Amino acid sequence: MEDRLRIIRYNTGTDKKAIVHFKRCFDAIIFNATIVAHSGASIADLVSMHKRKYIIDPQTHILQQDITAITSNNKQDGDIKNSVLRYLSKLPDALSSIITSQRRPLTISEIEPHIDSLVNSVYNFQTTYVQEHIEKKDYDKYLKFAKLEPEPRLVIAPYFVIKNKYSEDEIDSWLKLNHEALQKTIKLNKERGNLYPVAAQIVLDKAVLISEGFTFKIKCTYECENYEYIFIWVDDFNTFETEIRYMKAFSDLLAALNSIGKKPLMAYGGYESIILCNSGSPYRLYGVAQSVGYGEYRPITPVGGGMPVNKYYFFPLHQRMRFDEALAILTDQGYFSMEKSNKEHADDYYNYICDCNQCRTVIGQDIDNFIKYNESIPFKITTKNGIISRNRPTPYAELIAAFHFLYCKDNEWRQVFTKTYDQLIKELIENYKLYLPEKAQQIVEWCKVYGRKDN
Amino acid sequence: MKLKSRFTEMELREHFIEIYDITNDLAIYKEVPVFSRSVDLVIHEKSTLSLTAIEFKLHNWKRAISQVQKVALCFDYLYICVPKPKTTISCDKIIADCKLSGIGLYFYDSIKDIFEKTIEGIKKGIIWEVQKKQIINYLEAN
């Protein structure tokens, strides 16, 4: 069980309640550096009181981002977000000042001369920033006395995105810089007494995966000693949904990293990643980070979130869907028919769909209570077609959906630890054939790519 | 009043309401939020407690079918309303798809300025009464 890292991602203050409730279901909590820079004191409280192992994603890709990705209104002339400004102030001035004063991304030749200071500042931020906030707290002396001080679970080296628009030479240069940043982080960590495991992070556009020779380049870049983990973040990527060529390319990437003895972790992932943490998987992942109730897959350049809608995680399909989509499946399966009593339908639901604590609390003995997952408030918005009404989930509905989602995740991890890979694959295909036949073929293709070769 | 030669989806709906024979037993509601969507028009027949959803589209009738199907579980009848195409082939295609999906169809004939109920909507077999009741509660409160 220790061979896999179950990581929960903290995105906003509203995630706290769910994270606290499920803290024992995860091995570490991960924060973006900008959130830590902005809310250091409350992060210090959270990790001190609830989850002692934390990870900070150093988000050095910010240095490569267009200004619109870091302004509060996503416009060229908008103000840079406070959280980004605070984090930039912790990075070398020679780099951050280009962003703040010239409002443009940095080039590789601008970053390269300052890589030592960048490695230092990123390492220091990850290892001391939260601690500094804890030291200002009254409870610090008790944590020290009880030897319960929170600490980084691992430290991530500075990393840069490999974008599809880059030429081959540019890709080589960024990979070289990634390699250098990793080597220097390993060296620095050694000088500081090897207190924390070091991790690399590979961030790339999906199309780069299929570029010729890329896997070999990755292997060469990351084949070095004294570190174990590699986070992978492919832009808005879900292997259950993507084309077969990307599925295959991603499996090649995992095989390459496995072959050099590294343990890949998905920085954003759903069940398609969790299942690969099973020890029988031919393409091994060793951990997955996921958010509370959303964000299993995320674009590198942030986009607007759209209007919130009621969602429900359909456990047998391991897929989050709109409430009405889940409802349609349950209706097709006869869960609201008159042939059985509502209690009998509720029992069927627990037997075949989900028997998590949240569903038992919400549904009780009456399947019609499933509607609580759809509790919503109507609101009006102005569009080009005039004023229209929409529903948005109530805070209660959001909370129970998030709790249900996290119970499902806990259940998935338990299944991945206790069932064989073949069993997991078989159940996955069977469930898609039963509940979502129109997507079953895609899942069968996935299983062909990620299945065991001896089957 | 007849619609102008170029009209919007909203104008089509308003014209439908203008012409529609609203008896005392019927109540009409615009932009009713259902799930994560907004239904263009809902007709509530009070004596039978039946609910009808109508989606209006100027061009993409397939999208109208798909949209109205997304709220199918809460309504007794589903309809789409689109301008009548100029060719018989196009008309037949829409009619065939609506029939196949059990969805009623109104064609707006801009020359005659009438809404032809080309296909009668079929009463749906499966409705989730709990959700339907919530919609009726919303309508009665608005």
User: What pLDDT is recorded for position A174?
Assistant: 97
Helices H, strands E: what count in chain A?
Answer: 18, 13
Q: How many domains, in total, are found in chain A? A: 3
ipTM value for the complex: 0.83
Q: Where do the domains of chain B lie?
A: 9-141
Length of chain A equals 455
Residue A306 zone, left/alpha/beta (φ > 0; ψ -120 to 50; rest)? left
Neighbours of A439 (CB within 10 A): 15
CB-based contact B126 A336, cutoff 8 Å:
yes
Q: Which amino acid belongs to residue A157? A: A
Neighbours of A248 (CB within 10 A): 17
Read off the DSSP letter of residue A222.
Answer: H
Residue of A nearest to B138 (CA): A378
Instruction: Verify that A391 and A432 share a domain, yes or no.
Output: no
Among B9, B31, B131, beta carbon nearest to A389: B31
Q: What is the secondary structure of B23-88 as a DSSP string?
A: -TTEEEEEEEEETTEEEEEEEEETTTTEEEEEEE-SS-HHHHHHHHHTTGGG-SEEEEEEEPPSSH
Say which CATH class B9-141 falls into: alpha beta
Among A376, A386, A389, beta carbon nearest to B10: A386
- For residue A392, is it within any domain? yes
CATH of the domain at A132: 3.20.20
User: What pLDDT is recorded for position A111?
Assistant: 97
User: What pLDDT is recorded for position B19?
Assistant: 87
Q: Cα–Cα distance between A207 and A211 in angstroms, integer?
A: 7
Domain that holds residue A227: 5-291
Neighbours of A403 (CB within 10 A): 22
- For residue A303, is it within any domain? no
- For residue A297, is it within any domain? no
User: What pLDDT is recorded for position A455?
Assistant: 52
- For residue A85, is it within any domain? yes
Residue of B nearest to A334 (CA): B126
Residues of A in contact with B8 (CB under 8 A): 385
User: What pLDDT is recorded for position A304?
Assistant: 66
- For residue A411, is it within any domain? yes
Shortest alpha-carbon distance between residue B8 and chain A (Å): 8
Choose the mutation target among A329, A337, A391, A392 for the interface with B, i.e. most B CBs under 10 Å: A391
Residues of B in contact with A331 (CB under 8 A): 73, 126, 128
B81 — pLDDT class (breaks 50, 70, 90): very high
User: What pLDDT is recorded for position A52?
Assistant: 87
Instruction: Verify that A241 and A324 share a domain, yes or no.
Output: no
Q: For the range A280-283, what are the long-range contacts, defined as Cβ-Cβ under 8 Å and sequence gap of 24 or more?
A: A280/A420, A280/A421, A280/A422, A280/A452, A281/A421, A281/A450, A282/A255, A282/A450, A282/A451, A282/A452, A282/A453, A283/A251, A283/A254, A283/A255, A283/A258, A283/A450
User: What pLDDT is recorded for position A388?
Assistant: 80
Q: Look up the pTM and report it.
A: 0.91
Q: Give the residue ranges of chain A where pLDDT is below 70.
A: 1-2, 294-295, 303-305, 385, 452-455
Residues of B in contact with A387 (CB under 8 A): 31
Boundary (domain end) residue, out of A240, A262, A291: A291
A366 Cβ under 8 Å from any chain B Cβ: no
B119 — pLDDT class (breaks 50, 70, 90): very high
- For residue A302, is it within any domain? no
Neighbours of A279 (CB within 10 A): 11
Instruction: Verify that A197 and A317 share a domain, yes or no.
Output: no
Instruction: Verify that A87 and A23 share a domain, yes or no.
Output: yes
Instruction: Verify that A352 and A320 share a domain, yes or no.
Output: yes
- For residue A27, is it within any domain? yes
User: What pLDDT is recorded for position A239?
Assistant: 95
A334 Cβ under 8 Å from any chain B Cβ: no
Instruction: Verify that A410 and A427 share a domain, yes or no.
Output: no
B130 Cβ under 8 Å from any chain A Cβ: yes
CB-based contact B9 A390, cutoff 8 Å:
no
Q: Cα–Cα distance between A197 and A229 in angstroms, integer?
A: 8
Shortest alpha-carbon distance between residue B57 and chain A (Å): 12
